[in-house]
Structure 1
Amino acid sequence: MTPHRRQRRLAAQKGVARVGRTSTGPARQRGAATRAHPRQRLVVADVGATKCLFAVAEVVGRDVRLRNRRQIPTCEVPSPNALLAEALAGAAPAPTVASLAVPGPVVAGACRTTNLPWFLDANDLARRAGLDTVVLVNDLAAAGRGLPATPPDRLVVLHGEQVRADRTLALLGLGSGLGQAVVVPEGTGHRVLASEGGHADFAPQGALQRALAAELEATLGHVSVERVLSGPGLVRIYDFLVSSGMPAAPEVAAAAAHRRPELISELALARTQVTCEQALDIFVRILGAEAGNLALRALAHGGVVVMGGIAPRLLEKLADGGVVAAFLAKGRMRTLLERIPLAISTDADAPLRGAALLALEEGAFAGD
């Protein structure tokens, strides 16, 4: 295998793609390259199905400072090329490197996003934007790489002791989809293992969840956990309850599709609509169960952290004990889970920090 092909394979295995300059190769050499360039500047973006975050990142060692942070609705971005143009807008002087955290698997420098009708190719994006290097990284991998620098006051611990970044961490990214990743300590830093675990099978608990799974299977075929544990998933749970005879909420029926998950949550938290309340009850118990599943699969002794835009809006509900009860309900493994923290991150900047660090660690500035 040629060195170039070996580098491409390594990048694909890590969930990161870079184009432009030649990679520096092993991790020690990448660390040396970072030390040789004490301050680097690049554009970073966190791309979601409903919103996109942009910033200019200035990196010194492992310290990332974000400037010109902006947010726009994804519906205002018609294409990946427009996304990169938006990210570069106002970043004067224009950086020569961009790192994009994208919602889907990155393979050989490209990503077909799961919940957006986009295909991103790092080579094409760099050429069209006139950049030296574009890095594509899975969004949860970016969030995981940025998590160790999350301030303690941005982590709401629901169960157990404090989250420990010196031990294995597991991440759930709860938004328009369901991302999963594992973060393991490595030397003086961390390695992120990207995953598409949100597309693994939904494991219903109890008669009501089994009936929900059966109804979804009849219409969707395969029922992944993302189909019920995401913004659209909350709507599917609500629709299932309505179809089972519970009263519909006129506000939800009249709302635009993108507003329905938030509206169901609002009505449930206000305790003004019984179907929304039950839908949210089911939703948080599925969340707790899946968090427990991931804790067992990863042996996440450092903790399981729920990230994304949904969980911070549900803190009142998540604190009522239901999610923790479902997290611990693993039979013979309950004692193990009692020692694993479960927390909610309110740090929206973690994916931006992580995208910047992953770009540097992949040698994006190696030719400078």
Structure 2
Amino acid sequence: MDDPRLFLVADVGGTNTRVGMARGNIVLPETVRRYRNRDFANLAPVLRRYREEEGGPAPDGACVAVAGPVRDGRAELTNLDWSIDAARLIDATGARGAAILNDLQAQGFALGHLDPDQVRPIVEGPAPEGAARLVIGVGTGFNAAPVHVVPTGRLVPPCEAGHANLPIRTEADLRLATFLSTAHGFAAVEDVLSGRGLEQVYHWLASEAGSFDEFGAAEIMARLGSDARAEAAVRLFCGMLGTVAGNLALIHLPLGGVFLVGGVARAMGPHLREMGFADGFRDKGRFAGFMGNFAVSLVEDDYAALTGCAAHLRELAG
């Protein structure tokens, strides 16, 4: 359905910020620009730079999705010393109204507005329309957000799931958690299920073998097929992601499906089926059969958070 309203939307990650314009809930790809966070002191200068470069009329609304908690209309980024509130967002963009979402909330608002070709099944299962759904983000950090459809619209409560304790099932899990605790003081889910987490897993496997080898996440992925330790790291990552996703599914009961999003999730996409994701997801003892109620899909649309921001603004505006 055509919507003439123009919205400014932004996705603020731990490393980069993407800003673009949307007509209704349709993101205009030609308007999307990417900025390196390290080049700016805060988010407002990024948005001002974008408005200067893109030009055009003031937007009807502005919405940013941030990788961090949002409270009382103010966002604090978890992995970056930035903050933003609605007043500064309006000042920086010239918008008539503003909204701030956690990045996983934005992904939740995007569900149902994405190209089906950009949503790839990972674990088959039923997904009835209107049932609760769950978005799990794996990128610079880790987080999750349930998605509920209620009479007043879509409800996507914020969450900080990446900072919960890492689940421990085996002696190897315990050794990994001890290794992470020595480095960080606490073994959290995000310390394994993130880009830097994959690096930590590889480093731990190397230390178990008496080696000091360390590689970046992209290099570890590139070494698959030539480095047995890289394969072991990715296999552990996929299995742990399945375990955590299964735990979250039992907590939230997303009968409408579980959706994996984020750059690291997309990078792991080709390996999830063959490297133990489904086994970790379903390994819940007497509830193993019950886990068949949950379908799991991978969202491959890199603009999903921007689409979610636009959809949220459109819902707010009516």
Common fold: TM-score over 0.5: yes
Q: SS where residue 250 of structure 2 aligns?
A: helix
The alpha-carbon deviation at position 184 of structure 1 amounts to 1.4
Number of the residue aligned with 2:217: 261
Given that 1:109 and 1:123 are in contact with CA atoms closer than 8 Å, whether structure 2 keeps it comes out as no
Give unpaired runs (5+ residues) of structure 1: 1-34, 253-259
Find out whether 1:338 has 2:302 as its counterpart.
no
The total of aligned residue pairs comes to 316
Find out whether 1:54 has 2:19 as its counterpart.
yes
Find out whether 1:277 has 2:220 as its counterpart.
no
Find out whether 1:213 has 2:177 as its counterpart.
yes
* Residues 175 and 221 of structure 1: CA distance in aligned 2, closer, same or farther (over 3 Å): same
Given that 1:156 and 1:344 are in contact with CA atoms closer than 8 Å, whether structure 2 keeps it comes out as yes
Number of the residue aligned with 2:42: 79
Number of the residue aligned with 2:72: 108
Equivalences for residues 153-164 of structure 1 within 5 A: 153-161=117-125, 163-164=127-128
Number of the residue aligned with 1:69: 32
Q: Distance in 1 between matches of 2:181 and 2:295?
A: 33
Give the counterpart of 2:150 among 174, 181, 186: 186
The alpha-carbon deviation at position 289 of structure 1 amounts to 0.4
The alpha-carbon deviation at position 122 of structure 1 amounts to 2.3
* Aligned amino acid, residue 191 of structure 1: L
The alpha-carbon deviation at position 188 of structure 1 amounts to 8.7
The alpha-carbon deviation at position 165 of structure 1 amounts to 4.6
1:212-262 per-residue CA deviation (whole Å, 9 max, x = no partner) reads 101212232222211111011111111111222255557x2xxxxxxx111
The alpha-carbon deviation at position 96 of structure 1 amounts to 4.7
Q: Distance in 2 between matches of 1:141 and 1:290?
A: 19
Number of the residue aligned with 1:6: none
Q: Distance in 2 between matches of 1:174 and 1:132?
A: 33
Q: SS where residue 298 of structure 2 aligns?
A: strand
Percent same amino acid at aligned positions? 30
Given that 1:155 and 1:346 are in contact with CA atoms closer than 8 Å, whether structure 2 keeps it comes out as yes
Q: Distance in 2 between matches of 1:214 and 1:124?
A: 42
Find out whether 1:327 has 2:281 as its counterpart.
yes
Given that 2:44 and 2:89 are in contact with CA atoms closer than 8 Å, whether structure 1 keeps it comes out as yes
Q: Distance in 2 between matches of 1:354 and 1:225?
A: 25
* Residues 109 and 295 of structure 1: CA distance in aligned 2, closer, same or farther (over 3 Å): same
Q: SS where residue 72 of structure 2 aligns?
A: coil
* Aligned amino acid, residue 54 of structure 2: G
Q: SS where residue 194 of structure 1 aligns?
A: coil
Equivalences for residues 245-324 of structure 1 within 5 A: 245=209, 247=211, 252=215, 260-268=216-224, 271-324=225-278
* Aligned amino acid, residue 15 of structure 2: T
Given that 2:238 and 2:275 are in contact with CA atoms closer than 8 Å, whether structure 1 keeps it comes out as no
Deviates more, 1:80-89 or 1:185-194: 185-194
Find out whether 1:225 has 2:189 as its counterpart.
yes
Find out whether 1:241 has 2:205 as its counterpart.
yes
The alpha-carbon deviation at position 87 of structure 1 amounts to 3.5
Given that 1:247 and 1:275 are in contact with CA atoms closer than 8 Å, whether structure 2 keeps it comes out as no
* Residues 337 and 134 of structure 1: CA distance in aligned 2, closer, same or farther (over 3 Å): same
TM-score normalised by L of structure 2? 0.91
Number of the residue aligned with 1:25: none
Q: Distance in 2 between matches of 1:77 and 1:66?
A: 24
The alpha-carbon deviation at position 292 of structure 1 amounts to 0.4
Q: Distance in 2 between matches of 1:145 and 1:87?
A: 24
* Aligned amino acid, residue 167 of structure 2: A
Give unpaired runs (5+ residues) of structure 2: none
* Aligned amino acid, residue 145 of structure 1: F
TM-score normalised by L of structure 1? 0.80
